[in-house]
């Protein structure tokens, strides 16, 4: 009996798609970097960096660490909705930080898949359920950020024109996403009928039904009043921490930044994340900082210095927490496999 032959051309097509994605992402990053760096006085940039007060920057890193801890608490709410054995906060935190590390070094936000695989390997939760909660968490983040940013945009007189246009479009997308999350879990019968119509063997249809059921279960985690209230409350704490951390790091560079500027900068970063980007949002961060902070009286040179320092601080925190998190998650997974084998 001959062994099945893998489909020829699938791997090359996927490789070509990855090359095109990387090419487009690099082109976007290069264009935005050019716009951000055009006319910059590098002497002034390095002077601002060298005059940094490291006590403030260390404080910003501590606030960022606290924000990541709250993010793990928030994701844990959704994960525990699908299991009778609650996950430990340390387990979720390690996987979450490994995911952020992956987003910093891998393309196409592959960290979301990484953290989902790590959690599913340490629990009874399916990968489809875990990945659904991770993606829904990001969607809810985008919805909250667009709403918050829209409020701030209405208060600020001088603002980047591009941001108003993009925010309007993303507002419609966010509203559509919210409706999608509300309605989809109530379509289980319809999706079952659609799967039944598929020209596929019963075994494959059953597998698809099971996967769709896990996806709907993951979205349904938001459909519990107290659970959603806890999620929304922690989301407000997270964005407040992130805005405060940005203000503190700006103070470390001698810049005066208030919450409106911090929120608009976070919103610009959130809108920019919809673009194909290089790992770490290089280019997007610099363009957002230079264009947004100019509306608040912060010059291009200082804004660029701020973006470089703040981005570097983010890399330090995520690497310092993500590497041990990845190691701990993989070590725990290996230990769990050994325990299962000994039973």
Instruction: Decide which of 331 and 265 is more confident.
Output: 265
* pLDDT at residue 6 in the model: 46
- Tokens 């103070």 label which residue? 251
Instruction: Decide which of 164 and 31 is more confident.
Output: 31
Query: Which residues in 40-58 are b (16+ Cβ under 10 Å) and which e?
Result: beeeebeebeeebeeebbe
Q: Whole-angstrom Cα distance, residue 304 to residue 323?
A: 28
Residue 270 in this model has a pLDDT that exceeds 80: no
Q: Whole-angstrom Cα distance, residue 133 to residue 113?
A: 11
The candidate with the shortest Cα–Cα distance to 274, out of 17, 28, 27, 14, is: 28
pTM, 2 dp:
0.84
Instruction: Provide the percentage of residues in the chain whose pLDDT is more than 90.
Output: 42
The candidate with the shortest Cα–Cα distance to 209, out of 236, 182, 235, 190, is: 190
Q: What share of the chain is helix, strand, coil (3-state, %, to 5)?
A: 80, 0, 20
Residue 254 dihedral angles phi and psi, to the nearest 5°: 75, 20
Confidence of residue 41 (pLDDT cuts 50, 70, 90): very high
Instruction: Decide which of 92 and 190 is more confident.
Output: 92
Instruction: Provide the percentage of residues in the chain whose pLDDT is more than 70.
Output: 86
Q: Whole-angstrom Cα distance, residue 47 to residue 45?
A: 5
Average pLDDT of span 143-172: 74
CB neighbourhood size of 209 (10 A): 16
Average pLDDT of span 122-136: 92
Residue 93 in this model has a pLDDT that exceeds 60: yes
152-161, 282-291, 299-308, range with the lowest pLDDT: 152-161
Instruction: Decide which of 263 and 167 is more confident.
Output: 263
Distance from the Cα of residue 227 to its chain's centroid: 21
20-34, 220-234, 252-266, range with the lowest pLDDT: 20-34
Residue 150 in this model has a pLDDT that exceeds 80: no
* pLDDT at residue 14 in the model: 64
Q: Whole-angstrom Cα distance, residue 318 to residue 207?
A: 37
Residue 125 in this model has a pLDDT that exceeds 70: yes
Kindly report, residue by residue over 300-340, the tens digit of the pLDDT. Answer: 999 999 999 999 999 999 999 999 999 988 876 554 443 34
Confidence of residue 7 (pLDDT cuts 50, 70, 90): very low
CA angle, residues 274, 26, 142, in degrees to nearest 5: 10
Residues 6+ apart with CB under 8 A from 64: 241, 242, 245, 313, 314, 317
* pLDDT at residue 330 in the model: 84
What's the chain's average pLDDT?
Answer: 84
Quote the tokens at residue 48: 């601002």
Cα four-point dihedral sign 73, 111, 134, 236: positive
Q: How would you classify residue 254: left for phi > 0, otherwise alpha for psi between -120 and 50, otherwise beta?
A: left
* pLDDT at residue 141 in the model: 87
- Tokens 């591009």 label which residue? 162
Residue 195 in this model has a pLDDT that exceeds 90: no
Q: Whole-angstrom Cα distance, residue 312 to residue 304?
A: 12
Quote the tokens at residue 253: 């560079």
Quote the tokens at residue 141: 């983040």
Instruction: Decide which of 32 and 237 is more confident.
Output: 237
21-30, 35-44, 200-209, range with the lowest pLDDT: 21-30
2-6, 48-52, 237-241, 282-286, range with the lowest pLDDT: 2-6
**CB-count exposure of residue 183 (10 Å: 0-12, 13-18, 19+):** exposed
Average pLDDT of span 126-152: 86
Residue 231 in this model has a pLDDT that exceeds 80: yes
């Amino acid at each position: 009996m001959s062994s099945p032959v893998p489909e020829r051309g699938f791997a090359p097509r996927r490789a070509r798609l990855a090359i095109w994605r990387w090419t487009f992402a690099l082109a976007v990053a290069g264009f935005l970097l050019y716009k951000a760096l055009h006319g910059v006085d590098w002497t002034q940039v390095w002077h601002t960096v060298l005059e940094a007060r490291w006590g403030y920057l260390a404080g910003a890193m501590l606030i960022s660490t606290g924000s990541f801890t709250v993010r793990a608490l928030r994701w844990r709410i959704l994960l525990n909705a699908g299991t009778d054995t609650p996950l430990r906060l340390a387990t979720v935190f390690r996987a979450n930080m490994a995911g952020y590390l992956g987003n910093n070094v891998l393309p196409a936000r592959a960290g979301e898949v990484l953290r989902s695989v790590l959690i599913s390997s340490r629990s009874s939760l399916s990968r489809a359920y875990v990945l659904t909660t991770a993606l829904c968490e990001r969607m809810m983040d985008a919805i909250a950020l667009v709403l918050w940013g829209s409020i701030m945009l209405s208060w600020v007189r001088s603002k980047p024109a591009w941001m108003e246009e993009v925010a309007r479009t993303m507002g419609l997308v966010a509203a559509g996403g919210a409706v999608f999350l509300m309605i989809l879990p109530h379509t289980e019968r319809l999706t079952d009928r659609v799967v039944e119509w598929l020209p596929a063997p019963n075994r494959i249809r059953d597998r698809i039904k099971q996967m769709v059921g896990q996806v709907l279960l993951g979205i349904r985690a938001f459909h519990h009043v107290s659970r959603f209230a806890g999620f929304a409350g922690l989301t407000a704490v997270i964005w407040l921490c992130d805005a405060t951390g940005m203000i503190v790091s700006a103070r470390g560079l001698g810049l005066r930044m208030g919450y409106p500027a911090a929120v608009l900068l976070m919103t610009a970063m959130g809108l920019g994340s919809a673009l194909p980007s290089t790992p770490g949002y290089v280019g997007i961060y610099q363009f957002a900082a230079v264009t947004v902070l100019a509306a608040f009286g912060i010059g291009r040179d200082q804004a660029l210095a701020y973006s470089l320092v703040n981005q570097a601080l983010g890399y330090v925190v995520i690497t310092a927490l993500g590497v041990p998190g990845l190691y701990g998650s993989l070590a725990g997974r290996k230990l769990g496999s050994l325990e299962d084998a000994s039973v």
